[in-house]
Amino acid sequence: MHASMPFHSNPRPRPLLIGIIVACLPGLAVAQFSLAPLPYPADALEPHIDKTTMEIHHGRHHNAYVNNLNAQIMTNPELANLSLEAIQGRISQFNTAVRNNGGGHYNHDLFWQVMAPVGQRGAPGAALAADITQTFGSLDDLKKRFDQAAITRFGSGWAWLIVTPEKKLAITSTPNQDNPLMDLPDVQRGTPILGLDVWEHAYYLKYQNKRGEYATNWWNVVNWNEVTRRYDAAMK
Ligand SMILES: [Fe+2]
């Protein structure tokens, strides 16, 4: 063998290099959760929710929740074996970072899906519509009570329409990035079928401090087809 080719003089795998690669494999697994693209263009909810807010909300805020949740897999490896929904249901077993960022990822995934561009929003399906009338009196009454929950949530949080374990519709709200799937003592538990983000990052550019106006206008972009799909699934 030529003395000037030491690197190629030994074709056998080098144990040290292999060891380094293997040691890095758990780190490679941190990308367990990913940010899905918005299901419509960022300007599709104009004029009720502006394009810039949507771009920042999805591309920066939601993206940060995903990245921060993935970073938690290093110290909470069991996260890698759980679905996003399953994590919510046992959130009391995890630290605050998992609670905030796991909740943030789940909540925003739902939020993008329960809104839709004009022409794709539909109306409550027959069973959901009948349940709304029976539970709240009318769709307008539901909206009033839901908006009241959104407006009175102090600080940052979410308003929710849920199906309870007893298969009843209910309106509730949660602080921060908590949600009704979480096994926490102060949470009214149920399956979320509609959620409104009332963090200031969701509305401040267009509405400033007028959370009530944002909540009222938001009904214009609700994707009732998706809410109905979630209702039907939760009632099974
Ligand atoms: Fe948000």
The DSSP secondary structure of 6-50, one letter per residue, reads GGGS--SPPHHHHHHHHHHHHHHTTTTS--PPPSS-TTTTTTTS-
Distance 188 CA to ligand 1 centre (A): 20
Distance CA 111, CA 123 (A): 17
Quote the distance between the C-alpha of residue 5 and its chain's center.
Answer: 55
Helix, strand or coil for residue 125?
coil
CB of 105 within 8 A of CB of 62?
Answer: yes
The DSSP secondary structure of 215-229, one letter per residue, reads HHHHGGGB-HHHHHH
Helix, strand or coil for residue 82?
coil
Distance 63 CA to ligand 1 centre (A): 10
Q: Which residue, chain included where needed, has tokens 């401090």?
A: 209
The confidence score (pLDDT) of residue 8 equals: 42
Distance CA 166, CA 159 (A): 20
Which H/E stretch holds residue 171? strand 169-175
Distance 19 CA to ligand 1 centre (A): 41
> Other C-beta atoms within 10 Å of 55: how many?
13
Distance 62 CA to ligand 1 centre (A): 7
Distance 31 CA to ligand 1 centre (A): 21
Q: What is the layout of strands, in order, in the sheet containing 191-197?
A: 169-175, 157-163, 191-197
The confidence score (pLDDT) of residue 1 equals: 37
Distance 111 CA to ligand 1 centre (A): 8
Distance 108 CA to ligand 1 centre (A): 6
- As a residue count, the chain comes to 236
For ligand 1, a single-atom ion, the residues with CB < 5 A are 197, 199, 202
The confidence score (pLDDT) of residue 22 equals: 39
Note the CATH architecture for domain 48-236.
3-Layer(bab) Sandwich (3.55)
Distance 225 CA to ligand 1 centre (A): 22
pLDDT per residue of the chain (236 residues) written in tens, 0 to 9: 344 444 444 444 444 444 444 344 444 445 699 999 999 999 999 999 999 999 999 999 999 999 999 999 999 999 999 999 999 999 999 999 999 999 999 999 999 999 999 999 999 999 999 999 999 999 999 999 999 999 999 999 999 999 999 999 999 999 999 999 999 999 999 999 999 999 999 999 999 999 999 999 999 999 999 999 999 999 99
Helix, strand or coil for residue 173?
strand
Is pTM, for the whole model, over 0.85?
yes
Cα→Cα distances 142→137, 149, 179, 230, Å: 8, 11, 19, 17
The confidence score (pLDDT) of residue 6 equals: 41
